Amino acid sequence: MSEQVKRTVVVTGGSRGIGRAICLAFAGPDTQIFFNYFPEDPEAVNTEKLVASIGGAAKSALMNVASEQDVESFFDKILEETGKIDVLVNNAGITRDTLLVRMKDKEWNDVIDVNLKGTFYCSRAAAKAMMKQRYGRIINVASVVGATGNAGQVNYSASKAGIMGLTKTIALELASRNVTVNAVAPGYVETDMTAVLSDKAKTAMLSRIPLGRGAKPEDIAGVIAFLASDAAAYITGQIIHVNGGMYM
Ligand code: NAD
């Protein structure tokens, strides 16, 4: 490991949406960003270019967070290259919305596997390195619906509530090693994930937001960058809601 190793930041699901904004929030001359995406996404290279355009460096890889083997080899390669992982942001997530009585096993399993199991696999892989380093920041992306529930999202809300419990438990387990673990729970964010909602659903959502607008991905990314900063060194085990006041 070279003596001048940059801050190593790993972001899952960095090819677009909130993940891209997170990469951009961390971008800088002293930071090496690694992000993944799945499935193939031509937007990944644009995240790399945008990071480079503001003086940062990001490398991307096709990697499925729901595959234990793929996660292990992704983190092994990063550790071979840099020798450390300073920050992990578990951002990758999917939805497969439908009402409980119509939900297929596959829709349930896919969402739990990517959102919850993926967060577990990546946290476990990074935690081993962070414990040895006696430093680390893990930030998980949950959702307001993990706290409130949401009709049509039994799989998604369960996965995000699971992330909240996982966050607190890992925070307890890693605190003595100077590793903080927190979650950010966004409300309604304007990304491809929510672009598929009907105009009626979007209007209904907006009417419930006291600040009167949906979040931009940057509204979420800024809080995540803060949680990774020295200013947040004494925050751990917290779920930070970033939702324009739609849930208090
Ligand atoms: P998006 O659909 O725009 O992007 C999702 C990203 O995750 C992509 O980069 C994709 O490649 C990656 N991804 C998906 N499945 C993957 C897998 N199996 N392995 C690896 N990467 C995978 O979504 P977004 O709106 O930017 O959401 C990002 C996170 O924020 C998700 O966890 C989502 O649940 C959460 N969130 C979003 C909103 C919202 O309103 N958009 C609200 C609350 C929480």
- DSSP secondary structure code for residue 102 in this structure: G
> Is it the case that residue 160 has pLDDT exceeding 60?
yes
Determine, yes or no, domain membership for 134: yes
Please indicate whether residue 64, judged by its CB atom, sits closer than 6 Å to ligand 1. yes
Burial of 86 (0-12, 13-18, 19+ CB in 10 A): buried
Determine, yes or no, domain membership for 122: yes
Please indicate whether residue 188, judged by its CB atom, sits closer than 6 Å to ligand 1. yes
* 28-69 confidence digits (pLDDT tens): 999 999 999 999 999 999 999 999 999 999 999 999 999 999
User: What pLDDT sits at residue 247?
Assistant: 97
Tell which wins on pLDDT, 201 or 20: 20
Give the CATH number of the domain where residue 53 resides. Answer: 3.40.50.720
Which CA distances in Å does 171 have to 60, 103, 112, 165, 230?
A: 27, 33, 21, 10, 17
Determine, yes or no, domain membership for 246: no
In this structure, what are the phi and psi dihedrals at residue 242, rounded to the nearest 5 degrees?
A: -125, 90
Please indicate whether residue 90, judged by its CB atom, sits closer than 6 Å to ligand 1. no
Ligand 1 midpoint to CA 227 (Å): 19
User: Rounded distance, CA 95 to CA 114, Å?
Assistant: 10
* Residue among 126, 147, 155 nearest 138 (CA): 126
Please indicate whether residue 65, judged by its CB atom, sits closer than 6 Å to ligand 1. yes
- For the chain, the domain total comes to 1
In this structure, what are the phi and psi dihedrals at residue 116, rounded to the nearest 5 degrees?
A: -95, -50
**Which residue has the CA at smallest separation from atom 39 of ligand 1?**
189
CA dihedral 52, 57, 86, 88 (to 10 degrees): 60
For ligand 1, what atom is nearest to the CA of residue 15?
9
Q: What's the distance, CA 100 to chain centroid?
A: 26
SS3 at position 200: helix
Q: Would you put residue 23 in left (φ > 0), alpha (ψ -120 to 50) or beta?
A: alpha
User: Rounded distance, CA 225 to CA 248, Å?
Assistant: 22
Please indicate whether residue 192, judged by its CB atom, sits closer than 6 Å to ligand 1. yes
Rounded to 10 deg, the angle between the 217-227 and 17-26 helix axes is 50
Task: Give the residue numbers annotated as catalytic, written as ranges.
Answer: 156
Determine, yes or no, domain membership for 51: yes
Domain that holds residue 41: 7-241
Instruction: Using pLDDT thresholds of 50, 70 and 90, give the confidence band for residue 5.
Output: confident
For ligand 1, what atom is nearest to the CA of residue 16?
9
User: Rounded distance, CA 103 to CA 155, Å?
Assistant: 9
Determine, yes or no, domain membership for 247: no
Determine, yes or no, domain membership for 2: no
| Exposed e or buried b per residue across 177-191, where buried means at least 16 C-beta atoms within 10 angstroms of its C-beta | eebbbbbbbbbbbbb
Determine, yes or no, domain membership for 31: yes
Please indicate whether residue 92, judged by its CB atom, sits closer than 6 Å to ligand 1. yes
Determine, yes or no, domain membership for 93: yes
Mean pLDDT of the chain: 97
For ligand 1, what atom is nearest to the CA of residue 186?
43
Instruction: Using pLDDT thresholds of 50, 70 and 90, give the confidence band for residue 3.
Output: very low
**Which residue has the CA at smallest separation from atom 16 of ligand 1?**
38
Q: What is the mean pLDDT of residues 123-133?
A: 98
Ligand 1 midpoint to CA 15 (Å): 9
Q: What is the mean pLDDT of residues 105-121?
A: 99
* 190-224 confidence digits (pLDDT tens): 999 999 999 999 999 999 999 999 999 999 999 99
